[in-house]
Amino acid sequence: MVGVDLLDRARRAGLVVLLDGDRLVVRGPKRLQVLASEVIANKPAISIALHHEVDWRTDAMHTHAVQAVSHGGPLPFMVSRDTPPPPGCCLSCGDPLPRPHAVRCAPCGEAARRVVRELYPVVRES
Ligand SMILES: [Zn+2]
């Protein structure tokens, strides 16, 4: 899978790659310009990989959230994997975090927003 491999290589090098709607956003130091250009040139494959990252997390979080709220409980901190995360990693999936002091990685953050929007459609994000 070109998209997954390229996305993994870009992130390990230090690029932040995410989707903002249909727009592919690539951020990082200028020294990674060639790699960033490669990511942009492969936008369709990268977009598929990014959507997949969020989709499986959304499915996992949705299951946990629905179980909790269907019994009248509060919405829990939603996780995409049940295993405890290593120190300094995403508290939801356990993947390495791109920046210190973050709680969730970008795909887990987007997955959590999707679940909340579905369960609480009247909540507005500011
Ligand atoms: Zn995560």
pLDDT tens by residue, 99-121 = 777 899 889 999 999 999 888 87
Model's pTM, two decimal places? 0.76
Distance (angstroms) between ligand 1 centre and the Cα of 124 equals 23
Q: How far apart are CA 78 and CA 66, in angstroms?
A: 10
pLDDT tens by residue, 81-100 = 999 999 989 999 999 887 77
Element (DSSP H or E) covering residue 110: helix 106-119
Distance (angstroms) between ligand 1 centre and the Cα of 81 equals 9
**Mean pLDDT to the nearest integer, 63-73:** 86
Q: How far apart are CA 114 and CA 17, in angstroms?
A: 19
**Mean pLDDT to the nearest integer, 25-50:** 96
Distance (angstroms) between ligand 1 centre and the Cα of 36 equals 22
Distance (angstroms) between ligand 1 centre and the Cα of 98 equals 11
Res 19: pLDDT: 85
Distance (angstroms) between ligand 1 centre and the Cα of 66 equals 19
